[in-house]
Structures are given as structure tokens and as C-alpha cells.
A = this chain, B = another copy of it.
Amino acid sequence: MKHGSRMISSAILILILTWMTIPATLSAGDSGRRVAIALHGGAGTILKKNMTPEKENAYREKLTEALQAGYQVLLQGGSSLDAVQAAIVILEDSPLFNAGKGAVFTNAGTNELDASIMDGKTLNAGAVAAVKRVKNPIKLARTVMEKSWHVLLSGAGAETFAKEQGLELVDPKYFYTERRWQSLQRALEQEKKKRQMRKSEITPETQDDFKFGTVGVTALDQAGNLAAGTSTGGLTNKRFGRIGDSPIIGAGTYANNATCAVSGTGQGEYFIRLNIAHDISAMMEYKGLSVQDAAQQVIAKLTHLGGEGGVIAMDRHGNVAMPFNTAGMYRAYIDADGKPVVKIYREESH
């Protein structure tokens, strides 16, 4: 019992240390109405000692570019949905993140992408799972939301819809990157060594590395509307048509003008079981918690259940919380003076 409560105390301490409070990440748009944007590029075992300065710079530059793209949309009076999409497209097009171009490989050596987007004003949502030829899954998620009566489309059927709607399809080879291919090879070798393990038992250890490169964006526009979006390649070496939390509304993505916009990254199975994104919204709506307290509490639940990851959550005033229980999380937001702030490691939280 004592050991347990010490563990819980440590967990709480870590959470407090990790918990980022950004009291006023707001900037004035042209109309004088405040806008805000925040994004993540995945949480996981991201340690400074494993980084080269070049690699770190590359990440910081791409996060800044995406943030600025979304921010410009907001400054020009564009919608939060457009800002979310603009920022995610840049992260999807970069090989640095596990989304779009940089998606990890499945056990079969393919890339299967998931994405979702939600409009806080209408509670409309769109999502796609396991698509293999759609260059920008976030655009397809948006199209599902706006051009179909559905929320979630999957697999080859989703690609048929993408084609009908004129979205850009690419040869699956487009998603080949040497780095991700090598990750799969290492995962397969690790697995070979564990042959005694039952084939269908996939544990986090079978993953090549414990970095999650899922990307996500939340935004508040001049009209006061919140939006959130998430895009991912899922898990390296995933099998059996596994779908994680990223395309699941309420798990990896949620937006509601009455409460907040959320995007998550981490061990998707835990995010689904805990309904992470919707739970933050529910705690704000029903318990009157701040976005910081609500986001912190769901990450405490995640820790308690044994899961790892983080979220970005933004309330309707543009306040942002970015708690995570991993070593690091690629994350960024626009500060009050319009200057982007980009962070990677835990020690930058303060």
C-alpha cells in the first residue's frame, strides 16, 4: 500500500513538473479578436542526449513552420478548421513526423494512415482509418466531415471516396522513408528474438522505439470557434488492421466551443479506453474545471492505468495546456506577442 501511494505521489509530482501552464497564449488578429494555435508532433522517449543539434533544429524549424502557417490563417480571419488543416498538412508533408510522408510501416511493409478533424461550433467531425494512398489524410478527414453524411470511413472504401472527391492520391511508395523502413526492420528482428512470444501478442516492447510521432493541432479563430485535428501513421509493425485513437472522435480528437479543443498522442489503446479527449471536455463542462486542471487530470488517469502519452488542449479563451507523462513531447504554441514558442523536452516545461 505504502509503495503504491509513493508511486502515486511520484506520478503526481511528475505531472506537476510536466504540466505546462500557459496563461495567455493569445494574440490579436486583424479584427482585434484574439486567436490562438497550439500543436504537437508526438510524445515519447525524446531525450536531449539522443539528439543531434541538427536533428533538433530540423524539428524546431518544422514545428515553427506549421505553427506559423496555421497562425497566418487565423490572423487573416480564416477559420480554426482551416488553420488546423494548414498546420497539419505541413507536418504530414514532412518526413520528420509519423503522419503522412513520414508514416511508420506496418508489419506487412505498408503504410496505413489515420486522421480526424472536429469543428467545435457544430460538433461536426470527419475521420479516416487505414488509408494507404491518400497524400494528406487530414484533408480527407475534412472532406468526410463536409461532403458525406458519415464521420468515419476506412480502408479501400475511404480511398474510393477520396478519389470521387478529387483528393490527391499517391503511389504507396510515396510514404517510403529509409528511417521508418529501418525502424520496421529492427522491430521485426526484435520480434524474431522473441519467438516464444505468441504471434498475436503485441506488446509495446515490440515497437522499435517508444517515440510517438502523431501530429495534432488545436486552434481558436477570430469568430471564437475552436477546432482540433490529429494525423498519424500509427504503430511501427502494427498488424491485424489495428486502429488507434487518432481517428476516434472523443479519444484522440475532440472540439466543442462550449469547452475545449483537444488532440492527443501516445499509446492509442489507453486513449480509447479512457476517452481522453472527450473526458477533458466533460470535466470542464460538468465539473467546471479549467483546461489545465482537466488536461492534467486525464493524464493522471492515463498514468494510473499504465499508459503513456500527452495532449494539447485549448479552451475557448485560447488558454493552452500541454501535459504529458513521457520524457518529451514535440509541442509549440503562439505566445501573446505572436512569437512562436517551440519545446521538445520535459525540462523545457517551465
Contact = CB atoms under 8 A, between A and B. Distances in A.
Interface string A255-286: 00000000000001100111100110011001
B250 A124 contact: no
Chain A contact surface mostly: mixed
A147 interface: yes
A241 B157 contact: yes
A200 interface: yes
Contacts of A239: 157, 160-161
B278 A240 contact: no
Contact of A250 (B130, B161, B272): B272
A250 B245 CA distance: 12
A148 B282 contact: no
A226 interface: no
Interface string A89-126: 00000000000000000000000000000100001110
A203 B151 contact: no
Given A154-B130, A241-B155, A269 B149 contact: yes
Contact of A203 (B149, B153, B250, B287): B149
Contacts of A155: 130, 154-155, 241
Contacts of A153: 240-243
Contacts of A251: 249-250
A157 B282 contact: no
Contact of A147 (B118, B157, B201): B201
A199 interface: yes
Contact of A286 (B123, B160, B199, B287): B287
Specify which of A149, A199, A243 lies most central, judged by the most chain B CB atoms within 10 Å of its CB: A243
A152 interface: yes
A126 to B, nearest CB: 10
Interface string A215-251: 0000000000000000000000001111110001111
A290 B169 CA distance: 49
A148 B269 CA distance: 11
Given A158-B240, A161-B200, 16 more contacts: A125-B273, A147-B200, A150-B240, A151-B269, A152-B244, A153-B240, A153-B241, A153-B242, A154-B155, A154-B242, A155-B241, A157-B241, A248-B249, A249-B273, A250-B251, A275-B278
14 contacts: A125-B272, A130-B154, A152-B242, A152-B272, A153-B240, A153-B242, A160-B239, A160-B240, A250-B251, A250-B275, A275-B275, A278-B279, A286-B287, A287-B287
